[in-house]
């Protein structure tokens, strides 16, 4: 009997062992996490990860961004050589690979490898941030705030003191800084980054490997994807960040990650560092209802239609397929997420969990008269969401449907420049400059634009908006469609295509030669763009006072929760700042009677093979290499492809390094599992998994598939 119990416990242990929630702030690891991490198998110290006085692992962690919004890191990456070689996901490099692709050089289809540094491709506008240091500035910010301030006053005070803090910190340096609110505005941290601006594409496998499984396998385990691409960071000759220049040199990083070819075992320690984008772990049941019934439902509904229109165009020819590849992929990514998240939220009764926390909170508030400030918090939030409902519906449809096509957005964006161009007061020299600038933005815009696809998007998506949104929030263009075209959206789209100067580059260029304000104002795309923005501003303005109340409620709710449970180590929600999460490699049970192993192999790629051109196409060369079983030194009888860990990550973490107890790279994180897609709202201790590319598959592809020995040679590979 006893023996049976012991065996049963051992068998169950993988499902009983709970994972640790938390995307932790690096400056708090020593205080909050390191002991636990070391118990789990981490052999280094907190200072080896992050220390203000010496280089550490954090110096190898990169946040990828775009010029103009460098702090909104869309992905993460890691430096893996002394020459600034940067490893990230294929889906993170996707838009760069797409931008360099054409029918003649289809790097999406064929892959791309620079066998010499001179062949690496520049990506103007892409930024790479590396954290210099961070600091808790809560006291200094809170000194300017009090509970009697209006939300508006509070926001202004925070902005002012944040600007002061950043200005002092970056003075006389090349650093860029940002103060970020944590815990719904209860704490504040300063982050100082070096932001590099010359990031070149080095390598990418073909999409059939880098995106193997496509949308069918996206957000799913078991997975078999080589989701990686490589870049290199360049600096000015003196090592400082600089825009692209031929004189730039490869970054000499303060630290780079040795790459382990030793592989992983079930239960191994795993740490992930990167830039998670957004989680909402402290959202109330009322907010959750809005996420499920409004945001997720509408996003899934509208994008289903949008994707169908794009797909129809992409199936027609290779040019359109390349043009829309990146737009399609990013639309599809959160289309599937929204649907899977709603399913998981229902299956896992996340609403019930939130309500239980709220009951506990209410009991705590009622237990002590001094907690009066928290008395109405939940009722206020509830009322806020009730008041917001129609606006929230209109706003989501506006973002998904009205902003679904593109020509009108471009028309509106260029409107001011045309105004100046048509103004007699503008000098001839300035007019030339404006024209040049307009020409350049048109080139960039129309490079990935197809007239028919966009016209069809107008017809499909504007109609959905009219049908689904109340009369109060209809933009003027809808009236035009109803009057002039008797509500026939296809006729409207046909006229738009025939007459608008924004529906093709040729029409735009011709208009640029003879700009005319009267014509602009009558232009259907311009009208659509202007009325979209007017409507959107109106919706946002109406929602602003309600959102202020909800935000205040959320802030007090979280403040109360933290007071209610002062012993707990609290982790702030993700907000695009650098974080660390620790956990371990491990299998899981997605459903009753189903067991998912913790790794997949190249055999599984062959098992999934589907028709050429489809999501499961396997390139001939990969099949040959597989048949030859030439895996050494990255595998013996089989080659490991992907593996899973129970780390707490989210979107934005894509491309983050998975690091073992010795501080070596064992994988690159690239996805989460659909069964726990609710995880951004409520961490699922037993079910949530992080899907990673095994470094051995990456090395094998670079070495054997691509033959890029130049890249292998610059890494430090631990065998
Ligand atoms: N779900 C992944 C993420 O958000 C993106 C995966 C891209 N792959 C794909 N087949 N669409 O990070």
Q: What is the mean pLDDT of residues 386-404?
A: 98
Pocket of ligand 1 (CB under 6 A): 91, 211, 214-215, 218-219, 329, 333, 651, 654, 671
| pLDDT at 642 > cutoff 90 | yes
- Which atom of ligand 1 is found nearest the CA of 332? 11
Give residue 18's pLDDT.
72
Query: Which tens digits make up the pLDDT trace of 523-559?
Result: 999 999 999 999 999 999 999 999 999 999 999 999 9
> Nearest 5°: phi and psi at 432?
-60, -45
Whose tokens are 């070819």? That residue is: 261
Q: Is 91 a catalytic residue?
A: yes
Whose tokens are 């001179």? That residue is: 118
Cα 446–Cα 318–Cα 299 angle in degrees, nearest 5:
65
Query: Which tens digits make up the pLDDT trace of 586-600?
Result: 999 999 999 999 999
Coil, helix or strand at residue 123: coil
- Which atom of ligand 1 is found nearest the CA of 615? 10
For 290, residues 6+ apart whose C-beta sits below 8 A from its C-beta are 385, 388, 389, 392
pTM of the full structure = 0.95
Residue nearest to atom 2 of ligand 1 (CA): 671
In whole angstroms, what is the distance from residue 71 CA to residue 576 CA? 7
CA of 621 to the centre of ligand 1 (A): 24
The more confident residue out of 9 and 268 is 268
- pLDDT band of residue 16 (cuts 50, 70, 90) is very low
Mutate to test the pocket of ligand 1, among 73, 77, 91 (most ligand atoms within 8 A of CB): 91
DSSP H helices, 41-190, are 46-49, 90-99, 107-110, 138-142, 151-170
Strand partners, 133: 192
CB 535 within 8 Å of CB 474: yes
Average predicted confidence (pLDDT) for the chain: 96
Catalytic choice (576, 654, 656, 678): 654
- Which atom of ligand 1 is found nearest the CA of 214? 10
Bond from prior residue into 410 cis (ω within 30 degrees of 0):
no
Give residue 17's pLDDT.
54
| pLDDT at 325 > cutoff 60 | yes
- Which atom of ligand 1 is found nearest the CA of 334? 4
| pLDDT at 6 > cutoff 60 | no
In whole angstroms, what is the distance from residue 185 CA to residue 179 CA? 11
Q: Is 174 a catalytic residue?
A: no
Query: Which tens digits make up the pLDDT trace of 462-500?
Result: 999 999 999 999 999 999 999 999 999 999 999 999 999
Query: Which tens digits make up the pLDDT trace of 293-308?
Result: 999 999 999 999 999 9
CA of 261 to the centre of ligand 1 (A): 25
With 0-12 / 13-18 / 19 or more C-beta atoms within 10 angstroms meaning exposed / middle / buried, residue 518 is exposed
Give residue 612's pLDDT.
96
Q: Is 452 a catalytic residue?
A: no
| pLDDT at 280 > cutoff 90 | yes
How far CA 333 is from CA of 294, 336, 690, in Å, comes to: 18, 6, 16
| pLDDT at 643 > cutoff 70 | yes
For 68, residues 6+ apart whose C-beta sits below 8 A from its C-beta are none
């Amino acid at each position: 009997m006893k023996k049976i119990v012991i065996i049963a416990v051992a068998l169950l242990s993988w499902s009983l062992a709970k994972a640790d929630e938390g995307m932790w702030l690096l400056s708090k690891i020593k205080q909050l996490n390191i002991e636990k991490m070391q118990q789990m198998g981490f052999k280094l110290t907190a200072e080896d990860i992050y220390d203000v006085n010496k280089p550490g692992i954090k110096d190898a962690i990169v946040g990828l961004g775009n010029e103009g919004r460098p702090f909104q890191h869309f992905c993460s990456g890691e430096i893996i050589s002394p020459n600034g070689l940067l490893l990230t996901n294929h889906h993170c490099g996707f838009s760069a690979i797409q931008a360099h692709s054409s029918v003649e050089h289809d790097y999406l289809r064929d892959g791309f490898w620079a066998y010499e540094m001179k062949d690496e491709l520049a990506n103007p506008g892409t930024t790479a941030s590396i954290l210099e240091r961070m600091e808790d500035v809560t006291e200094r910010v809170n000194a300017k705030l009090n509970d009697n301030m209006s939300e508006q006053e509070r926001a202004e005070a925070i902005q002012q003191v944040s600007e002061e803090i950043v200005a002092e910190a970056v003075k006389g340096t090349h650093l860029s800084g940002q103060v970020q609110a944590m815990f719904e505005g209860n704490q504040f941290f300063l982050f100082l980054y070096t932001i590099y601006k010359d990031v070149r594409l080095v390598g990418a496998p073909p999409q059939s490997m880098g995106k193997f499984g496509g949308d069918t396998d996206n957000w799913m385990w078991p997975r078999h994807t080589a989701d990686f691409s490589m870049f290199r960071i360049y600096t000015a000759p003196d090592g400082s960040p600089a825009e692209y220049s031929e004189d730039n040199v490869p970054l000499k990083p303060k630290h780079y990650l040795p790459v382990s070819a030793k592989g992983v075992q079930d239960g191994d320690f795993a740490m992930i560092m990167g830039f998670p984008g957004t989680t909402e772990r402290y959202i109330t049941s009322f907010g959750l209802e809005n996420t499920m019934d409004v945001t997720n439902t509408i996003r899934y509904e509208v994008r289903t239609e949008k994707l169908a229109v794009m797909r129809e165009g992409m199936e027609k020819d290779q040019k359109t397929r390349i043009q829309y590849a990146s737009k399609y992929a990013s639309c599809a990514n959160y289309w599937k997420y929204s649907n899977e998240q709603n399913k998981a939220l229902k299956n896992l009764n996340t609403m019930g969990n939130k309500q239980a926390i709220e009951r506990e909170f209410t009991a705590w508030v009622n237990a002590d008269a001094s907690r009066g400030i928290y008395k109405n918090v939940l009722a206020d939030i509830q009322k806020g969401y009730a008041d917001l409902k129609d606006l929230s519906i209109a706003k989501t449809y506006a973002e998904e449907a009205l902003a679904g096509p593109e020509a009108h957005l471009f028309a509106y964006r260029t409107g001011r420049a045309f105004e100046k161009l048509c103004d007699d007061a503008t000098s001839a020299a300035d007019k030339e400059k404006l024209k040049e600038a307009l020409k350049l933005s048109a080139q960039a815009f129309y490079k990935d634009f197809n007239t028919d696809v966009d016209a069809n998007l107008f017809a499909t998506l504007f109609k959905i908006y009219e049908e689904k949104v109340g009369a109060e929030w209809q933009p003027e263009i809808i009236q035009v469609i109803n009057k002039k075209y008797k509500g026939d959206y296809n006729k409207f789209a046909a006229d738009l295509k025939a007459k608008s100067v924004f529906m093709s580059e040729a029409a735009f260029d011709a208009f640029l030669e003879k700009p005319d304000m009267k014509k602009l104002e009558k232009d259907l795309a311009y009208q659509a763009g202007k009325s979209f923005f007017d409507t959107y501003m109106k919706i946002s303005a109406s929602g602003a006072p309600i959102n202020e109340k909800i935000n205040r409620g959320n802030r007090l709710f979280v403040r109360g929760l933290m007071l209610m449970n002062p012993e707990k180590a609290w982790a702030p929600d993700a907000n695009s700042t650098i974080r660390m999460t620790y956990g371990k490699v491990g299998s899981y049970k997605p459903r009753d009677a189903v067991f998912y192993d913790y790794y997949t192999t190249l055999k599984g790629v062959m098992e999934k093979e589907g028709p050429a051109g489809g999501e499961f196409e396997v390139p001939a060369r990969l099949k040959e290499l597989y048949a030859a079983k030439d895996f050494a030194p990255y595998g013996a009888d089989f080659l490991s492809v992907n593996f899973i860990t129970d780390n707490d990550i989210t979107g934005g973490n894509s491309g983050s390094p998975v690091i073992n107890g010795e501080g070596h790279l064992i994988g690159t994180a690239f996805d989460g599992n659909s069964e726990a897609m609710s995880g951004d709202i409520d961490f699922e201790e037993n079910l949530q998994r992080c899907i990673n590319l095994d470094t051995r598959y990456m090395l094998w592809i670079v070495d054997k598939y691509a033959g890029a020995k130049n890249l292998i040679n610059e890494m430090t590979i631990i065998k």
